[in-house]
Amino acid sequence: MGAMLDMPTLGRRRPSRARRRIVRAALVLIVAGAGFAGWRWISGNDAETAPPPPPVAAPPAEAAQAPARPVSAPLPAGSVDDLLRPLGMRYARVVVEGPLETGFVTALGRELGAPLTQVVTRALVWWISVPGDLRRGDVVEALFSERPAAEPLVHAVRLRSEKAGQTFEAYRFQEPGAAFSRFYTRDGNELELRLRDAPLDEHEQVTSLIRDGRGHQGVDFRTPVGTPVKATFDAVVVRRNWNFRANGNCLELRERGGARRTIYFLHLSEVSGDVRPGVRVAKGQVVAKSGNTGRSFAPHLHYQLMSGAGKVLDPFKVHRTFRRARPDAHRAAFDAEVARLAGLLDGAAAIASR
The reply to whether 206 and 304 lie within a common domain is yes
Q: Angle, to 10 degrees, between the axis of helix 100-108 and the axis of helix 110-124?
A: 140
pLDDT of residue 76: 54
Mean pLDDT estimate for the chain: 83
Domain contains 64: no
The reply to whether 212 and 255 lie within a common domain is yes
Closest CA to 186 of 341, 329, 348: 341
The reply to whether 235 and 128 lie within a common domain is no
- 59-65's contacts with Cβ under 8 Å and 24+ in sequence apart are 65/331, 65/332, 65/335
pLDDT of residue 216: 81
| Domains identified in the chain, total number | 2
**Distance of alpha carbon 206 from alpha carbon 303, whole angstroms:** 11
Task: Look up the domain containing 226 and give its range.
Answer: 195-322
pLDDT of residue 211: 76
CATH of the domain at 102: 3.10.450.350
**Cα 279–302–174 angle (5° rounding)?**
120
pLDDT of residue 214: 72
**Distance of alpha carbon 207 from alpha carbon 221, whole angstroms:** 6
pLDDT digits (tens, 9 = 90+) for 227-248: 999 999 999 999 999 999 999 9
Domain contains 343: yes
> C-alpha distances in angstroms, 47 versus 43, 51, 52, 225, 261?
11, 11, 11, 71, 75
The reply to whether 211 and 280 lie within a common domain is yes
pLDDT of residue 25: 47
Q: Would you say residue 75 has pLDDT above 90?
A: no
CATH of the domain at 225: 2.70.70.10
pLDDT of residue 215: 73
**Distance of alpha carbon 99 from alpha carbon 113, whole angstroms:** 12
**Distance of alpha carbon 64 from alpha carbon 70, whole angstroms:** 14
pLDDT digits (tens, 9 = 90+) for 47-71: 333 333 334 333 333 333 334 444 4
The reply to whether 295 and 317 lie within a common domain is yes
Domain contains 168: yes
The reply to whether 201 and 300 lie within a common domain is yes
The reply to whether 275 and 176 lie within a common domain is no
Is 81 strand, coil or helix? helix
The reply to whether 151 and 222 lie within a common domain is no
The reply to whether 317 and 338 lie within a common domain is no
Q: Tell me if 170 sits within 8 A of 183, measured CB to CB.
A: yes
pLDDT of residue 213: 67
Closest CA to 180 of 146, 205, 201: 205
The reply to whether 137 and 204 lie within a common domain is no
